[in-house]
Chain A
């Protein structure tokens, strides 16, 4: 499938910022089922950009902006051709053995309630089938919160509130899968989901099954990603794969608005 992505993130600062540094993870990389045809990042200011790579192997763009600055708009646009792989990842150079992804983080901390539930949903005979069951059951149990975006709640909090963003549910999946002893990680990227006309920023999960490899799971669609997901970054949790990590150097509060227009 040919996916056209156009996505803008706008920051408005109530008080002018003397400087701004941001770390962007917004650039997808090629794999067997994802070919980046064109990709660009545009910023409405004079900026210095540096392309790099983080410890996970994700492409990183460092953005350095001089102030005074009352706002900034970062526009990402590109074209990606995807193919269907049944959710199984092929052609990605892995930096770490899967067992690394059994590690907990604050946002995906071990939680007895989640572990108990995951144990009940899983039947234990077939790991892959269990993960699919977990994925579908999570999507059913946790409602999408239409009023929020991004990832604020840790897995345990999202579990209690039973309302969460896509990314928060993905973190829940990660915590649940790890509680079963399955390596799992968070994926950030873009997804063309539901009735939208263009891919939106999205978060889902990947779990590792011996003999198969890394497999994507999206609790929002209750399926594995098909050809409507563009994979950008992975990490142990959403914060590690965050599309934008920023540092305010002034006293102001960031106001983040995201606008994705139709391609």
Chain B
């Protein structure tokens, strides 16, 4: 139950009031398309996802059945101006993340100048001394970032979480768009929606751009932990869309500090690895010795500058929740200006005053483990039971340094298909930001997650969340209609390619 009237991204602020002027056409589409028809389309999309195998496993559930993430047919829309401002903030933030990683594994200027408490970094398990002093090719660390945002008003975006390790979800951005193009083509005639299907090309371009110095035709691969991983579909989908090999640890060998891929035609030198396995499992000689998923010697090859690893090992320190609360300071330290995208106000429970405040306001706050993810280890005060609150109180007192607390925000809503027809549901947003040698770019789209339960603020797919397509509208220009039709063509062609493949 939201404490305040939430901002609805299509219908505007007030209940029953007029929809946002720019999106009146979308609201008409919602009103004039019969609910049964919307539901039918939604089911068609979900049937496709099931057939494609876009499933995920829910951790901690005994039945091994894989689920699809529910899809909602009503898109979430960003206006051109909104998107432009958002992009600026995202670029600034990701540039700061890169600068931070470069510094923290090198000179550690930010600690010397006292911007961050040193023990927060040095004592953090996500800070990996094993790779200190090693530098990724071209000094780019966080090649693929997913920055989780929430919104409370037309221009009020807040960063909820940075993901600078191996953010997933981009396949949903692409598949949701394909489904929308197929099932709601009329929307793409009415709106100039920026295409997202160039993402695999942009990602491949990013990979190639960070190849080690002196490599002109880099060989790129995607390293997966294998088909038991919950994001395996995405790994195979991305490798396939980019036209690069999908490999497991056993397919790669390191010899003489060079990474090779075993192929039927013999060994092929590998220059760039998009790894979707965690640092811990990357190289058993350096990290967990029992890892069978990684590649022995990979870190030696990396240290020698012979391979680029996306994202770079050690990145976890940049998206740690304890570090997150210092991101405004981090952005200011490296960019010289204030963060264009603010954080959600955060109480660091390691600080006695913050802890006292948190304990006094547990029924209002969201409390999170600094090293938790996926909505696990989290208390949502306003919807929690007394027992849950007391359990968290005990945990907080025992280990305050493991927790942060945030206000319960009135997250924006978007009309969403519910049992009784369309109803507002809370959403968040994960845009994807690519950093290559030619700079930082934001893909015009992203993953919108929606809390399907009425009033729920937890959007994680593991906790019953769903997804929506995210439209980024382009500025109207003379001849826009013509332009638009070409876009639809390209996108439809993309969809056809996709269908031929599957």
- Which of A38-46, A91-99, A169-177, A215-223 forms part of the interface with chain B? A91-99
Within 8 A of A (CB), among B118-156: 118-119, 122-123, 125, 128-134
User: Which residue of chain A has its CB nearest to the CB of B111?
Assistant: A97
With contacts A21-B254, A23-B285, A64-B255 known, is A100 near B129, CB below 8 A? yes
Q: How many interface residues does chain B have, given as a range?
A: 20 to 34
Chain B residues, CB < 8 A from A57: 133
Say yes or no for B394: interface residue by CB 8 A criterion.
Answer: no
- Which of A74-82, A121-129, A239-247 forms part of the interface with chain B? A239-247
Say yes or no for A54: interface residue by CB 8 A criterion.
Answer: yes
Within 8 A of B (CB), among A239-261: 239-240, 245-247, 249
- Do A96 and B256 touch across chains, with their CB atoms under 8 A apart? no
Considering the chains assembled together, what is the distance between the CA atoms of A174 and B151 in angstroms? 48
Say yes or no for B389: interface residue by CB 8 A criterion.
Answer: no
Say yes or no for B304: interface residue by CB 8 A criterion.
Answer: yes
- Do A247 and B284 touch across chains, with their CB atoms under 8 A apart? yes
Say yes or no for A52: interface residue by CB 8 A criterion.
Answer: yes
Considering the chains assembled together, what is the distance between the CA atoms of A238 and B497 in angstroms? 53
- Do A95 and B133 touch across chains, with their CB atoms under 8 A apart? yes
CB distance from A112 to the nearest CB of B (A): 14
User: Which residue of chain B has its CB nearest to the CB of A105?
Assistant: B125
Within 8 A of B (CB), among A16-36: 19, 21, 23
Within 8 A of B (CB), among A55-70: 55-57, 60, 62, 64
CB distance from B450 to the nearest CB of A (A): 40
- Do A53 and B303 touch across chains, with their CB atoms under 8 A apart? yes
- Do B303 and A52 touch across chains, with their CB atoms under 8 A apart? yes
Considering the chains assembled together, what is the distance between the CA atoms of A245 and B125 in angstroms? 22
Considering the chains assembled together, what is the distance between the CA atoms of A54 and B123 in angstroms? 19
Say yes or no for A187: interface residue by CB 8 A criterion.
Answer: no
User: Which residue of chain A has its CB nearest to the CB of B303?
Assistant: A52
Chain B residues, CB < 8 A from A239: 289
- Do B123 and A48 touch across chains, with their CB atoms under 8 A apart? no
Q: Mark B219-262, 1 if CB is under 8 A from A, else 0.
A: 00000000000000000000000000000000001111100000
Say yes or no for B317: interface residue by CB 8 A criterion.
Answer: no
> Which of the residues B123, B130, B256, B284 comes within 8 Å of A240, measured between beta carbons?
B130
With contacts A21-B285, A99-B118 known, is A55 near B304, CB below 8 A? no
> Which of the residues B256, B285, B303 comes within 8 Å of A247, measured between beta carbons?
B285
Considering the chains assembled together, what is the distance between the CA atoms of A107 and B130 in angstroms? 16
- Do A52 and B304 touch across chains, with their CB atoms under 8 A apart? yes
The interface of chain A, by Cβ under 8 A from chain B, is 19, 21, 23, 48, 50, 52-57, 60, 62, 64, 95-97, 99-100, 102-103, 236, 239-240, 245-247, 249
Q: What are 23 residue pairs bridging A and B, where the CB atoms are less than 8 Å apart in the complex?
A: A21-B285, A21-B296, A23-B285, A48-B255, A50-B256, A52-B303, A53-B133, A54-B303, A55-B131, A55-B134, A56-B129, A56-B132, A62-B257, A64-B297, A95-B133, A96-B132, A97-B111, A97-B118, A97-B122, A99-B122, A100-B122, A247-B284, A249-B253
The interface of chain B, by Cβ under 8 A from chain A, is 111, 118-119, 122-123, 125, 128-134, 253-257, 284-286, 289, 296-297, 300, 303-304
